[in-house]
Amino acid sequence: MKTGNPILFSLLILAIFAALLPCSAGGVKGDPKRGVKLFSAMTCDICHLNGGNMQNPDRPIKGAGFQKRYPDDVSLGQLIRKGISDKGMPAFGRDRMSDQDLADVIAYVRSMTPAAAAAKKKTK
């Protein structure tokens, strides 16, 4: 079979990339199964085992109050990237954690809040 017009062919390839682009440009999609592994690999679990907070029990990373403080993944991602240095929460910059890793960890963190608590403060 002939490949046909090479210009049309490259346009087709471009169109496929254009169709895929919004998924990556609009933020990486997180995978909670990868996230759970990263959560321990990145040492989060040392301080936040099962979504708790060993150093500041008033700041668990699950539950309705938590979801309310961080209603969207952007705000949550910024917090994890910057950390809270004076309170003992380390910063996880791009040198330590890729955007994909961050999205996966966030997906796992969100999954620790039971659906009932999340539904009270439903954002998406």
Pair 35, 98: CB distance under 8 Å? no
Identify which range of 4-12, 18-26, 73-81, 112-120 contacts ligand HEC by CB under 6 A: 73-81
Residue closer to ligand HEC (CB basis): 8 or 84: 84
What minimum distance in Å lies between the beta carbon of 26 and ligand HEC? 21
Question: Which two three-digit tokens encode residue 36?
Answer: 């759970």
Residue closer to ligand HEC (CB basis): 25 or 86: 86
Tell me the C-alpha distance between 85 and 28, whole Å: 26
Binding mask 95-124 for ligand HEC (x = CB under 6 A): ----------x---x---------------
10 touches ligand HEC by CB under 6 A: no
- List C-alpha distances in Å: 68 to 28, 54, 81, 82, 107: 22, 21, 19, 19, 16
Residue closer to ligand HEC (CB basis): 36 or 48: 48
What minimum distance in Å lies between the beta carbon of 112 and ligand HEC? 11
Q: Around Cβ 80, how many Cβ atoms within 10 Å?
A: 21
